[in-house]
A and B are shown apart, each in its own frame.
Chain A
Amino acid sequence: MNRLPAPMGLLIDRNKPLTFSFDGTTCQGFAGDTIASALAADSRWLLSRSFKYHRPRGPLTMAGQDANTLVQLPDEPNVLADEHQLQAGLNVTPQNVNGTLEKDRDAHLGKFSKFMPVGFYYRAFYKPKGMWKRWEPLIRKKAGLGVLNLTFEPTYHDKAYLFCDLAVIGSGPAGLSAALYAANAGAKVLLIEQNPLLGGSLTYARFSLNANAAMGLREELVGAVRDHANIHILDSAICNAWFADNYLPVIQGNRMYKVRAKQCIVASGSFDQPVIFRNNDLPGVMLTSAAQRLMRLYAVKPGQRAVVLTGNDDGYLAALDLHEQGVEVAAVVDMRERVDTAGLAAAVQAKGIPCHAGHTVYEAIARKNARHIASVDVRRITGQGKVADSSTRIDCDLLCMSAGYMPVYQLLCQAGGSLRYADEHAAFSIQNLPKILRIAGSVNGRHDLQRVLADGQRAAAEALADLGLESTRVEGADKDDSKVNFPWPIFAHPQGKEFVDFDEDLQIKDIVNATRHGYRDVQLVKRFSTVGMGPSQGRHSALPTARLVADATGRSVSDTGVTTARPPFSAEKLAHVAGRAFDPYRQTAMHRRHVELGAKLMPAGVWQRPAFYGKAEDREACMQAEAHHVREKVGLIDVSTLGGLDVRGPDAAELLERMYTFGFKKLPVGRTRYALMTAEDGVVIDDGVACRLGEQHFYVSATTSGVDRVYRSMLKWNAQWRLNVDIANVSAAFAAVNLAGPLSRQVLEKVCTDVDLSSEGFPYLGVREGSVAGVPVRLMRVGFVGELGYEIHVPARFGEHLWDALMDAGKAQDIRPFGVETQRLLRLEKGHVIISQDTDGMSHPTELDMGWAIGRKKPFFVGKRTIEILESQPLKRKLVGFTLPKGSAKPLEGHLVLKGPDISGNVTSCEYSETVGAIIGMAYAGADQATPGMQIPIRVEGGEIVQATVVKLPFYDPESQRQEL
């Protein structure tokens, strides 16, 4: 095994070995390892094959920031092997492999790369039209997107809010120092860290000649943070977006936290950047920080003989790390002419390590098996991207590369921040952030450890001031002049394979060629070439792409910029988004009774209602039987879902006059009146019955789905009108039934003794208050289903009691319950419209023949002026009743009404009615098709056209004698 002694291996527990398998062979690791680190400890560096050319790939970042480490788990494809914690027995297989990882039958694809230029797929397979459909399955198969387990059992995921004064994102030195400073001043701090271990770069980077300084500082800071009562730590948690007002989605395990932070400090650090040269993707070539992570976090010796290629001083420190851990360092290759820090080169040379200033690696050379680095070709840099002809070969099995750093800008761009490239630093910096969001540390361009710590405190002090907590000005956080980025770490090779984007196998020429095709904007370059579209989302490719595009189009890097960073920052599972979804439903007080009676339930908005009582397959028979029963005897339906509004006060009648089309001022107490509501555009939006319970008290019903809108609309209008009236939505407070049928009075008389129920004492359209079965009720005589009937409204707590009392009282009359579908048939027979079923977003009263419901002499009602304008214009369509003989094809809702070759309307309701003995329905038809007796062609299922006959509504009891009994 390839392990180093302690203190290397911060994350692993050497006492807990774990066995797992990779690509069919058994491997060993420790608890705390990732899949990739355990494999590396076993000297297995080959993890995957690249997306396009099936090139061998190994760890690049060891931080979950590249696609090289994507592997397949039994239940999950596209798992990052350098991030996924090892578990015993884990069965890991490689992805995007044809055959085995070692011998991939598609590895030859790289040789065809010159035939697969940038934009290849778009250009080759989209023409002629339709060709993509044929090519796509083949290409997808080659593209290797992993395998889904379709029998996978979902696990419980949920969401929770978290509230804090200050959220600190990132627990590197800047984040730790910011969190401590703010917490000491009394702020409640939430510290969010993506890794299981706090410390950020302190966990793997060296920072100074003293090998133990960073580790000591980390222990000190982390200890203080862990012990602090004001700091809540979320580790192994990723903040995946920034939304307005510091609304932060943070994923930890199976939970998504929705963090609400008054202030936020992003200390997200920076991404180590690769150098672009030929074969920079060979296994064994990795970021310098990756090698350091392997050593410090996992105690893995990253190689036997290393070359360090660097664009800043940090490479020298890494060389010392390698040397101290027993790796032979063959050379430090520094792209710069000189080192910034005094004594650094000397310290390295003192260990016998040769340093080559002003040089670069021009090419990495593979072993014979092509699967690992064997040596590097080192050359002197002679100009931007240019090298001398003479070369030196250095053998190595590890090449550490670092061209500099790119701030982790993604969340900040989501917050509206903009990137500016400073040529003197060859680096991007971030501006224009919202006031409640600050940045600190290397994301803010600070790299010297003392400045990073001070910058954390500086940001915390500013946040404290905005929180109204005490703070003092922090010094020493200013930017220094040191330069950590080498300006042009890009070395084109005549034979190519210098990868700019490892995920998408894009080389220098691919980016440059995209600009030559005319895609000069970096956003277009991205879409044409797919640069930055892979799993690492430009973490390594954005900076070199910006430089290449700027250079190729003769613009500055600032002007070129980077592509838009959108949420999420890292891949997130749909389970996290869907989470524990809340799906409210509403039930009436009688719901249990419906279930007991075998109701077929149907959703009505958020309500659960009985459609009819019986089995789903007996729908037609149940409906007809229930309807027949109401027509002949007595039925009971739960109408608790109806909306109800209590409108009270001196201006109650005035409010109704303004909100509804009819007049209500003259309605006598004890009477009801139909109430039709239009919007300002004259469209019918709701209806109900207004009951006058007192001079100043109306009880108004509204449709089940419309009542909230009606209530809101009344409140909004009266916020302007200032009428002296109280509007209360009492929909849920009343349970209600409609007791309907010729025998309904007989039933009611048994349980209602304090109201005169005679037809004279309580006539049709009357309303009374009294009691039924000992509980207080509001009684209305209504005619929706066209029979003698009583709507009985009762406080909801008594709803079930009322139902039981009526079902009991009606036994002698053979009472039976009926459902919503039956009620719809009964009202259709009576020609009553249901708003939003028989009306649409254009229906105005004239189309519905409801001119009778409009109070024309009123000074105002909502929609009045528009209706007047509409009435002055010719009518285009009309809602008509139609019949078809029994046995004819039955139109469905939505089927079209035709006029010659044109569509003139559509069917809104249609059922077979046993009572009428025909198929009956309502439909919109052309105004010139609407005269009773005319034929309207309706196109039904399968394209057949039936000729329906327009009839005068209603279909049943045209004199309305039955309901007025």
Chain B
Amino acid sequence: MTCPLNGPRNISEFTYGGELKQMPDPNTCSVAEWADYVFNSENRLGVVTEWWMHTASSYWFLAERHTGSDEILRTFDPSELFNQRIDFAVPEAAQ
């Protein structure tokens, strides 16, 4: 796999971080939605976006991988998707 920071490396140099998932609003979503987010994975045949970390440099990045061919199509810095600060609202009940 090609690390965006360190270049092509053996897969053993990387740590898998799971599929990229969108967290539902933990304060407003239903219990079922939350359980689906926490416990279920898509496991789709096709191109998926996954978190990977280059272990030696502790660098997290994202990879697009085809689950059928196992081909890694693209790796990129997470700032491409996450470019601004994320904050959580105080739940209404606690205010």
* A interface residues (Cβ-Cβ under 8 A, vs B): 244, 658, 680-681, 711-712, 715-716, 719-724, 729, 856-857, 859-860, 864-866, 869
Can you list 24 pairs linking A and B with CB atoms under 8 Å apart?
Answer: A680-B38, A681-B38, A711-B58, A712-B17, A715-B53, A716-B17, A716-B51, A716-B60, A719-B60, A719-B78, A720-B78, A720-B86, A721-B85, A721-B86, A722-B85, A729-B58, A857-B94, A859-B91, A860-B88, A864-B26, A865-B26, A865-B34, A869-B31, A869-B35
The 10 closest A-B pairs by CB, nearest first: A860-B88, A865-B26, A859-B88, A719-B78, A859-B90, A719-B60, A722-B85, A721-B86, A720-B82, A857-B94
Within the complex, the shortest CB–CB distance from B62 to chain A, in Å, comes to: 9
CB atoms of B34 and A866 under 8 A apart: yes
Q: How far is the CA of A865 from the CA of B23 in the complex (A)?
A: 12
CB atoms of B94 and A856 under 8 A apart: yes
Within the complex, the shortest CB–CB distance from A826 to chain B, in Å, comes to: 34
| Partner among B15, B26, B31, B88 whose Cβ is within 8 Å of the Cβ of A712 | B15
Instruction: Identify the closest chain B residue to A711 (Cβ).
Output: B58
Instruction: Identify the closest chain B residue to A258 (Cβ).
Output: B10
Q: Is B45 an interface residue (CB 8 A)?
A: no
Q: How far is the CA of A720 from the CA of B86 in the complex (A)?
A: 7
CB atoms of B82 and A719 under 8 A apart: yes
| Contact residues in B for A869 (Cβ distance below 8 Å) | 31, 34-35
Instruction: Identify the closest chain B residue to A856 (Cβ).
Output: B94
Q: How far is the CA of A715 from the CA of B60 in the complex (A)?
A: 7
| Contact residues in B for A729 (Cβ distance below 8 Å) | 58
Chain B, 44-63, CB within 8 A of any chain A CB = 51, 53, 58, 60
| Contact residues in B for A724 (Cβ distance below 8 Å) | 85
Instruction: Identify the closest chain A residue to B85 (Cβ).
Output: A722
Given A244-B70, A722-B83, A864-B26, check contact A715 B31 (CB 8 Å). Answer: no
| Contact residues in A for B70 (Cβ distance below 8 Å) | 244
| Contact residues in B for A721 (Cβ distance below 8 Å) | 82, 85-86
Q: How far is the CA of A723 from the CA of B90 in the complex (A)?
A: 17
Within the complex, the shortest CB–CB distance from A415 to chain B, in Å, comes to: 12
**Of residues B27, B39, B90, B91, which shows the largest number of chain A Cβ atoms within 10 Å of its Cβ?**
B91
| Contact residues in A for B53 (Cβ distance below 8 Å) | 712, 715-716
Q: Is B84 an interface residue (CB 8 A)?
A: yes
CB atoms of B89 and A859 under 8 A apart: yes
CB atoms of A715 and B58 under 8 A apart: yes
CB atoms of B58 and A723 under 8 A apart: no
Chain B, 2-51, CB within 8 A of any chain A CB = 15, 17, 26-27, 31, 34-35, 37-39, 51
Q: How far is the CA of A680 from the CA of B39 in the complex (A)?
A: 9
CB atoms of A723 and B34 under 8 A apart: no
Within the complex, the shortest CB–CB distance from A412 to chain B, in Å, comes to: 17
Beyond A681-B39, A715-B58, A721-B82, 12 extra complex contacts between A and B, CB < 8 Å: A658-B88, A680-B37, A711-B58, A715-B53, A716-B17, A716-B53, A719-B78, A720-B86, A721-B86, A729-B58, A859-B91, A866-B34
Interface size class of B (residues with CB under 8 A): 20 to 34
Given A715-B58, A857-B94, check contact A722 B84 (CB 8 Å). Answer: yes
Instruction: Identify the closest chain B residue to A720 (Cβ).
Output: B82
| Contact residues in A for B26 (Cβ distance below 8 Å) | 860, 864-865
| Contact residues in B for A722 (Cβ distance below 8 Å) | 82-86
Q: How far is the CA of A722 from the CA of B83 in the complex (A)?
A: 7
| Contact residues in A for B27 (Cβ distance below 8 Å) | 859, 865
**Of residues A712, A856, A869, which shows the largest number of chain B Cβ atoms within 10 Å of its Cβ?**
A712
Instruction: Identify the closest chain B residue to A713 (Cβ).
Output: B17
Instruction: Identify the closest chain B residue to A680 (Cβ).
Output: B38
| Contact residues in B for A864 (Cβ distance below 8 Å) | 26
| Contact residues in B for A857 (Cβ distance below 8 Å) | 90, 94
Instruction: Identify the closest chain A residue to B35 (Cβ).
Output: A869
Within the complex, the shortest CB–CB distance from B10 to chain A, in Å, comes to: 8
Q: How far is the CA of A531 from the CA of B45 in the complex (A)?
A: 35
Q: How far is the CA of A61 from the CA of B30 in the complex (A)?
A: 70
Within the complex, the shortest CB–CB distance from A664 to chain B, in Å, comes to: 15
| Contact residues in A for B58 (Cβ distance below 8 Å) | 711-712, 715, 729
**Of residues A724, A729, A857, which shows the largest number of chain B Cβ atoms within 10 Å of its Cβ?**
A857
| Contact residues in B for A244 (Cβ distance below 8 Å) | 70
Within the complex, the shortest CB–CB distance from A292 to chain B, in Å, comes to: 42
Q: How far is the CA of A724 from the CA of B85 in the complex (A)?
A: 9
| Contact residues in B for A866 (Cβ distance below 8 Å) | 34, 38
**Of residues A711, A716, A869, which shows the largest number of chain B Cβ atoms within 10 Å of its Cβ?**
A716
Q: How far is the CA of A716 from the CA of B90 in the complex (A)?
A: 23
Q: How far is the CA of A857 from the CA of B89 in the complex (A)?
A: 11
| Contact residues in B for A716 (Cβ distance below 8 Å) | 17, 51, 53, 60
Q: How far is the CA of A680 from the CA of B34 in the complex (A)?
A: 10
Instruction: Identify the closest chain A residue to B94 (Cβ).
Output: A857
| Contact residues in B for A711 (Cβ distance below 8 Å) | 58
Within the complex, the shortest CB–CB distance from A644 to chain B, in Å, comes to: 15
| Contact residues in A for B51 (Cβ distance below 8 Å) | 716
Within the complex, the shortest CB–CB distance from B87 to chain A, in Å, comes to: 8
Q: How far is the CA of A857 from the CA of B31 in the complex (A)?
A: 19
| Contact residues in A for B84 (Cβ distance below 8 Å) | 722
Instruction: Identify the closest chain B residue to A861 (Cβ).
Output: B88
Q: How far is the CA of A749 from the CA of B88 in the complex (A)?
A: 46
Q: How far is the CA of A856 from the CA of B90 in the complex (A)?
A: 11
Instruction: Identify the closest chain B residue to A657 (Cβ).
Output: B88
| Contact residues in B for A715 (Cβ distance below 8 Å) | 53, 58, 60
Within the complex, the shortest CB–CB distance from A248 to chain B, in Å, comes to: 13
Within the complex, the shortest CB–CB distance from A873 to chain B, in Å, comes to: 10
Within the complex, the shortest CB–CB distance from A526 to chain B, in Å, comes to: 26
Within the complex, the shortest CB–CB distance from A709 to chain B, in Å, comes to: 10
CB atoms of A723 and B78 under 8 A apart: no
Q: How far is the CA of A680 from the CA of B26 in the complex (A)?
A: 11
| Contact residues in A for B34 (Cβ distance below 8 Å) | 865-866, 869
Q: How far is the CA of A432 from the CA of B88 in the complex (A)?
A: 51
Within the complex, the shortest CB–CB distance from A681 to chain B, in Å, comes to: 5
| Contact residues in A for B60 (Cβ distance below 8 Å) | 712, 715-716, 719
Q: How far is the CA of A715 from the CA of B34 in the complex (A)?
A: 23
Q: How far is the CA of A857 from the CA of B78 in the complex (A)?
A: 30
| Contact residues in A for B37 (Cβ distance below 8 Å) | 680
Q: How far is the CA of A236 from the CA of B94 in the complex (A)?
A: 74
Q: How far is the CA of A711 from the CA of B85 in the complex (A)?
A: 20
Given A711-B58, A860-B26, check contact A723 B85 (CB 8 Å). Answer: yes
Chain B, 62-95, CB within 8 A of any chain A CB = 70, 78, 82-91, 94
Q: How far is the CA of A724 from the CA of B34 in the complex (A)?
A: 28
Q: How far is the CA of A711 from the CA of B57 in the complex (A)?
A: 12
Q: How far is the CA of A860 from the CA of B37 in the complex (A)?
A: 16
Q: How far is the CA of A368 from the CA of B17 in the complex (A)?
A: 71
Instruction: Identify the closest chain A residue to B69 (Cβ).
Output: A416
Within the complex, the shortest CB–CB distance from B89 to chain A, in Å, comes to: 6
Q: How far is the CA of A502 from the CA of B35 in the complex (A)?
A: 59
Q: How far is the CA of A658 from the CA of B85 in the complex (A)?
A: 14
Q: How far is the CA of A715 from the CA of B59 in the complex (A)?
A: 8
Q: How far is the CA of A367 from the CA of B11 in the complex (A)?
A: 59
| Contact residues in A for B83 (Cβ distance below 8 Å) | 722
Instruction: Identify the closest chain B residue to A716 (Cβ).
Output: B60
Q: How far is the CA of A724 from the CA of B86 in the complex (A)?
A: 11
Q: How far is the CA of A716 from the CA of B55 in the complex (A)?
A: 12
Q: How far is the CA of A859 from the CA of B94 in the complex (A)?
A: 8
| Contact residues in B for A856 (Cβ distance below 8 Å) | 94
Q: How far is the CA of A722 from the CA of B35 in the complex (A)?
A: 25
Q: How far is the CA of A767 from the CA of B83 in the complex (A)?
A: 36
Instruction: Identify the closest chain B residue to A866 (Cβ).
Output: B38
| Contact residues in A for B15 (Cβ distance below 8 Å) | 712
Q: How far is the CA of A244 from the CA of B1 in the complex (A)?
A: 11
Q: How far is the CA of A681 from the CA of B37 in the complex (A)?
A: 10
Q: How far is the CA of A729 from the CA of B35 in the complex (A)?
A: 32
| Contact residues in B for A658 (Cβ distance below 8 Å) | 88
Instruction: Identify the closest chain A residue to B84 (Cβ).
Output: A722
Q: How far is the CA of A857 from the CA of B91 in the complex (A)?
A: 8
Instruction: Identify the closest chain B residue to A651 (Cβ).
Output: B85
**Of residues A658, A720, A721, A856, which shows the largest number of chain B Cβ atoms within 10 Å of its Cβ?**
A720
Q: How far is the CA of A711 from the CA of B53 in the complex (A)?
A: 12
**Of residues B53, B84, B88, which shows the largest number of chain A Cβ atoms within 10 Å of its Cβ?**
B88
